[in-house]
Structure 1
Amino acid sequence: MAGGKARSVSGNNRRAAGELEASVLAALWAAGEPLTAAQVNEQLPGDLAYTTVLTILSRLHDKGMLTRRREGRGYAYAPVEDEATHTAERMRSLLDRGPDRAAVLSRFVSELSAQDELLLHRLLAEQGHSTPGGPKPRA
C-alpha cells in the first residue's frame, strides 16, 4: 500500500501475537513515558498497520498490563510494570509450571556466566539468603 505503514499479514510476514505484544511493551519501556498508538507504531520495526498496533495496545490494556489516559481523540499508553518486574514474573511463572523445580534452577544456574553467577550470589546475600561457600570457581 503506497504511503501507508500497512503490511501483509499472510505467509511468512505474519508475526505471532506474543511477539507483537513483546515489541509494543519494549517500545513503551524504552520511551519511558506514555505513548499514543501512532507514536508506538513509529518505534516498531517493519510496516505494521496503525490498527494492528491499536489492537495490541487495547489487548494489553484489557490484560491489565498497560494503563491509558485520554490524549486528544485517543489514548496514551504506559506499562503498569517496569521491564525487570515483568521479566521476573515471567521467569517465576515458567518455573512454577515445571515439574522439577530443582532441575530447572540447577540448569539455569549452570548456564550463567561467571559474572552473572557472582551477581546472583551478591543479590541473594543482600536479600538475606545464605549462599554457603559462595560462588564456585569456573573451570
Structure 2
Amino acid sequence: MADHRRPRRRGQGELEALVLAALREAGGPATAGWVQERLGEDLAYTTVVTILTRLLDKGEVSRERAGRSFAWTPADRAGLAARRMRGVLDAESDREAVLASFVTGLDPADERLLRDLLSQARAADDD
C-alpha cells in the first residue's frame, strides 16, 4: 500500500538555515540549481530561489550574474553579525544605554580587544 502522507512542512527559518548551510559547504559561489540538488528531497527550484532572494534582502547572501541565472555566496559571518548589531543599536532611541550595557557585559579579554580596535580605528582616522 502506498504512503500518501504529505511531507512535513518546514518553517521559513529552517529552510533559510538549510540553504545557508548548503551555500557554505559549496566553498564558492553556487547556483540555485546546485543548492536544490544539494538539499534534494522535495524542495522545488522556485522555493530555493525565493529563499535565496529573502536571504539577499536580509543581507545574508550576495549574488552575481552567472550566464542566465545567478551564483549565490553567503555573506561574511563577521560582517553579518556586525550588521545585526548595528540594526539593534539603530532600533533603540538611547544608544548610549545600549552601548553601555553591551560594554559592561563583555568579558575582560573582549573588552581589551574592543579598546584595541577602537584605538586602531582612531589612529587610522588620524592618518
Q: Shorter-chain TM-score: which interval?
A: 0.5 to 0.7
Counterpart in the other structure of 2:109: 115
- Residue 33 of structure 1: how far off its partner (Å): 1.0
- Partner AA of 2:62 in structure 1: L
TM-score of the pair, normalised by structure 2:
0.64
Counterpart in the other structure of 2:30: 35
Counterpart in the other structure of 1:66: 62
Q: Does 1:76 align with 2:93?
A: no
Q: Aligned with 2:112: secondary structure?
A: helix
Q: Does 1:103 align with 2:97?
A: yes
Counterpart in the other structure of 1:135: none
Q: Which runs of 5+ in 1 are unaligned?
A: 130-139
- Partner AA of 2:73 in structure 1: A
Q: Does 1:88 align with 2:43?
A: no
TM-score of the pair, normalised by structure 1:
0.60
CA deviation map 1:18-71 (0-9, x unaligned): 554455345435644101224435666xx672433232113344x375213336
Q: Which runs of 5+ in 2 are unaligned?
A: none
Alpha-carbon distance between aligned partners in 1 of 2:111 and 2:25, rounded to the nearest angstrom: 27
Alpha-carbon distance between aligned partners in 1 of 2:35 and 2:63, rounded to the nearest angstrom: 14
Equivalences for residues 46-61 of structure 1 within 5 A: 49-51=43-45, 52-61=47-56
Q: Aligned with 2:99: secondary structure?
A: helix
Alpha-carbon distance between aligned partners in 1 of 2:106 and 2:25, rounded to the nearest angstrom: 26
Q: Aligned with 1:107: secondary structure?
A: helix
Q: Where is the helix percentage greater, Structure 1 or Structure 2? A: 2
Is the contact between residue 30 and residue 72 of structure 2 (CA under 8 Å) also seen in structure 1? yes
CA RMSD of aligned residues (A): 3.3
Q: Aligned with 1:49: secondary structure?
A: coil
Size of the aligned set, in residue pairs, is 115
- Residue 116 of structure 1: how far off its partner (Å): 1.2
Over the matched positions of the two proteins, sequence identity in percent amounts to: 46
